[in-house]
Amino acid sequence: MPRPLQATVDMGALASNHALARRLAPRAKVLATIKANAYGHGMRRVERGLHDADGFAVCEIDQAAALRARARSARRDCQVLLLEGFFSTRDLLVCSLEGISAVVHDIWQVEMLERTRLESPIDVFVKMNTGMNRLGFAPASFGAAVERLRSLSAVRSITLMTHFASADEDEGVAAQLAVFDAHVAPFGGLRRSLANSAALLRYPQTHADCVRPGIMLYGVSPFAGQPAAALGLRPAMALESELIAVQSIEAGQRVGYAGAFRADVPMRVGIVACGYADGYPRHAPTGTPVLVDGRRSRTLGRVSMDMLAVDLADMPEAGIGTPVVLWGGALPVEEVAAAAGTIAYELLCALAPRVPVREAFPDTPANPPAVAT
Ligand SMILES: Cc1ncc(COP(=O)(O)O)c(C=O)c1O
């Protein structure tokens, strides 16, 4: 018997969420963001699941090259964008050889393009820092960088790009969008790419020519107050295990490392095969929600490396082998993340390589109706 912990990726949900992105931004190319092992879902798996995607966005050159090679052998035209661009001349040569598009966010990359002889010119996304202060040219120097790139035989096409810091917050996109619009005005003929999931879902004015959804493809809401289902999204990942032991404890007895949970009354405690070495957040406090046999319960005490404890106080029928959902289905990963003081992105990305992943191909309809936000 294998250890009873398993993740499931619902391939129908991936396709459905991708179809929703397409429907909401019908005139834009959709570059599916599959960096960080497709947010923990498995890059190859998601690539297969989204075989009709216009393209993919990743961070590593080797992954980008492999994506392009597979697209070529499948005779598919599929754009692959390096979100942090190239880091070296070697990377740049690979971009040229493999037909990989690259973000250009700093002047040293422009200089590298100027001095490197390429077999074939590359497609670049020139990034403007409109307020996030992470990557990108300052608005005042953006135009000059675009002009320099425009004059280069090493550059085949230019897309003007920015990234929003607060599209998922009340602050929205207005201030960054205004900066972007003001500084791209002289470049009317060039393509534009702005939207992440939150902007795609909430701000049609950001769709432009190319959107870059990530988290929504995995069925997770980017908005704290708005559940994924209300957006028409279907969760793609479930993490499930079983009870592997049950303890009956007396009032005053404690559970787990440091005895961080102390029982007030006699109670039954279930031990679940899932711990922080599987990707479950160690900092999830007592009270983090779980489903035991489909019913809501809570974690107790500290999460250990391979196990965690759950409250069986109202579940006299629960015993060894009873199924436990850590997240997925009726227990949105967003809710577990909030209880653990983090975001769903982090939980999904942290799924450990030792957790076996099963693919589900449900015969349920792939396209629930989109809900306006
Ligand atoms: C530049 C860029 N575009 C798009 C995305 C996708 O964002 P999200 O997962 O919020 O849709 C990311 C993710 O961090 C990003 O860094």
Given a contact cutoff of 8 angstroms between Cβ atoms, the answer to whether 54 and 78 are in contact is: yes
Residue 367 has pLDDT above 90, yes or no: no
Is there an atom of ligand 1 within 6 Å of 17 CB?
no
DSSP per-residue codes, 182-207: HHHGGGTTSEEE---HHHHHH-GGG-
**Mean pLDDT confidence for 249-268:** 97
Pocket-testing residue among 39, 135, 201, 212, ligand 1, by greatest number of atoms within 8 A of Cβ = 212
Residue 303 has pLDDT above 60, yes or no: yes
The whole-number pLDDT of residue 368 equals 47
Pocket-testing residue among 14, 81, 83, ligand 1, by greatest number of atoms within 8 A of Cβ = 83
The whole-number pLDDT of residue 330 equals 94
Q: What angle do CA 355, 327, 323 make, to 5 degrees?
A: 75
Catalytic residue (one of 127, 203, 257, 345): 257
Structure confidence by residue, pLDDT tens digits, 73-102: 998 989 999 999 999 999 999 999 999 999
**Mean pLDDT confidence for 201-215:** 98
Q: Which two tokens stand for residue 70?
A: 């597979």
Is there an atom of ligand 1 within 6 Å of 33 CB?
yes
Residue 147 has pLDDT above 60, yes or no: yes
Structure confidence by residue, pLDDT tens digits, 100-129: 999 999 999 999 999 999 999 999 999 999
Residue 183 has pLDDT above 70, yes or no: yes
Distance CA 215, CA 156 (A): 30
Residue 338 has pLDDT above 90, yes or no: yes
Is there an atom of ligand 1 within 6 Å of 129 CB?
no
**Mean pLDDT confidence for 309-327:** 97
Instruction: Assign 1 a pLDDT band (cuts: 50, 70, 90).
Output: confident
Q: Which atom of ligand 1 is nearest to the CA of 83?
A: 1
Residue 362 has pLDDT above 90, yes or no: no
State the distance from the centre of ligand 1 to the C-alpha of 213, rounded, in angstroms: 6
Q: What is the mean pLDDT of the chain?
A: 96
User: DSSP character for 355?
Assistant: S
Q: Which two tokens stand for residue 5?
A: 């912990």
Share of the chain above pLDDT 70, in %: 97
Q: Which two tokens stand for residue 241?
A: 């295990």
Instruction: Assign 371 a pLDDT band (cuts: 50, 70, 90).
Output: very low
Given a contact cutoff of 8 angstroms between Cβ atoms, the answer to whether 156 and 99 are in contact is: no
Instruction: Assign 363 a pLDDT band (cuts: 50, 70, 90).
Output: low
The whole-number pLDDT of residue 305 equals 98
Q: Which two tokens stand for residue 366?
A: 């792939």
Residue 370 has pLDDT above 50, yes or no: no
Is there an atom of ligand 1 within 6 Å of 167 CB?
no
Residue 194 has pLDDT above 90, yes or no: yes
Given a contact cutoff of 8 angstroms between Cβ atoms, the answer to whether 117 and 138 are in contact is: no
Q: Which atom of ligand 1 is nearest to the CA of 167?
A: 10
Query: Whole-angstrom distance between the N-terminal and C-terminal Cα of the chain?
Result: 46
State the distance from the centre of ligand 1 to the C-alpha of 36, rounded, in angstroms: 11
Residue 373 has pLDDT above 60, yes or no: no
User: DSSP character for 236?
Assistant: -
State the distance from the centre of ligand 1 to the C-alpha of 172, rounded, in angstroms: 15
Domains of the chain: 54-217 (3.20.20.10), 237-360 (2.40.37.10)
Instruction: Could you list the beta-strand ranges (E) of the chain.
Output: 6-10, 29-33, 55-58, 79-82, 101-104, 122-127, 155-161, 191-193, 210-211, 237-249, 254-255, 261-262, 267-272, 289-292, 295-300, 308-311, 323-327, 357-360
Is there an atom of ligand 1 within 6 Å of 193 CB?
no
Is 257 annotated in the active site?
A: yes
State the distance from the centre of ligand 1 to the C-alpha of 324, rounded, in angstroms: 31
Q: Which two tokens stand for residue 308?
A: 């965690």
Cα 66 to Cα 62, 89, 227, 301, 323: the distances in Å are 6, 19, 35, 43, 38
**Mean pLDDT confidence for 362-373:** 47
Is there an atom of ligand 1 within 6 Å of 202 CB?
no
Share of the chain above pLDDT 90, in %: 94
**Mean pLDDT confidence for 280-297:** 98
Pocket-testing residue among 24, 30, 196, 197, ligand 1, by greatest number of atoms within 8 A of Cβ = 196
